[in-house]
């Protein structure tokens, strides 16, 4: 399955870095550059690859991700070039938790975007998610597995097995599960 490209996607603060950490712990090669280092918001690291941010205008790097996992923000999924075999692990999280986590991160940076109205932002995020799911459903080269963040934290080993099965690759599922730190679940919608 060396021609398979594993894409970890979702909204910012949904848990994509956690899934990348799990895949790396399980033995999958990751396409990252280490430019964005770990911090108090992502103590495991961000697992990003800078050229992904320019995917809309330059997809020349995509062949480098063959046989590896790469993190692609949900808004850029539509720019994945055709002709590849993509398996997308789409991390879903309660939108209220995503909003709270993003707000705290923005506040820490002193960014005025932290003052945005929650109800307005939640509606906009829901609309964006619906558009992305519709887009992915229309692409025959993309297969998607929804990975629920809360479920992953509740049953890390079970989800590690499901992920390995979906990707059809041998991964150390025990090591994947061990990469999950439940203490990092700091923004819960239900208390």
pLDDT digits 0-9 by tens, 26-56 = 999 999 997 867 666 566 767 999 999 999 9
Percentage of the chain modeled with pLDDT above 90: 60
Tokens 């061990």 -> residue: 178
Q: How far apart are CA 121 and CA 115, in angstroms?
A: 11
What pLDDT is attached to residue 176? 97
What pLDDT is attached to residue 43? 62
* Domains of the chain listed by start with CATH number: 4-93+141-182 (3.40.50.300)
What pLDDT is attached to residue 89? 98
What pLDDT is attached to residue 117? 66
Q: What kind and span of H or E run contains 8?
A: strand 4-10
The residue with greater pLDDT, 109 or 2, is: 109
pLDDT, tens only, 124-158: 888 989 999 999 999 999 999 999 999 999 999 99
Mark out the alpha helices in the chain (DSSP H runs).
Answer: 16-25, 95-109, 118-137, 149-154, 156-167, 173-178
- Tokens standing for residue 138: 């229309």
DSSP string, 105-139: HHHHHT-GGGGS-HHHHHHHHHHHHHHHHHHHHT-
The pLDDT mean for the chain works out to 86
Percentage of the chain modeled with pLDDT above 70: 81
Candidates 172, 177, 173, 140; CA nearest to 155 is 177
What pLDDT is attached to residue 187? 47
Quote the pTM value: 0.85
- From residue 133, how far is each of 94, 117, 152 by CA, in Å? 16, 24, 20
């Amino acid at each position: 399955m060396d021609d398979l490209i594993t894409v970890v996607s979702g909204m910012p603060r949904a848990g994509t870095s956690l899934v990348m950490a799990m895949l790396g712990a399980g033995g999958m090669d990751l396409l990252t550059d280490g430019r964005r280092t770990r911090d108090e918001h992502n103590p495991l690291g961000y697992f990003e690859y800078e050229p992904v941010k320019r995917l809309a205008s330059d997809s020349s790097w995509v062949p480098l991700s063959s046989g590896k996992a790469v993190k692609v923000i949900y808004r850029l999924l539509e720019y994945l070039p055709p002709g590849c075999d993509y398996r997308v692990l789409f991390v879903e999280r309660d939108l209220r938790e995503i909003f709270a986590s993003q707000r705290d991160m923005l506040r820490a940076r002193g960014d005025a975007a932290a003052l945005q109205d929650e109800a307005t932002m939640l509606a906009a995020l829901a609309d964006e998610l619906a558009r992305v799911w519709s887009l992915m459903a229309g692409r025959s080269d993309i297969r998607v597995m929804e990975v629920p963040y809360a479920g992953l934290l509740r049953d890390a080993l079970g989800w590690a097995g499901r992920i390995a099965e979906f990707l059809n690759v041998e991964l150390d599922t025990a090591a994947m599960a061990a990469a999950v730190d439940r203490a990092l679940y700091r923004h819960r919608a239900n208390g």
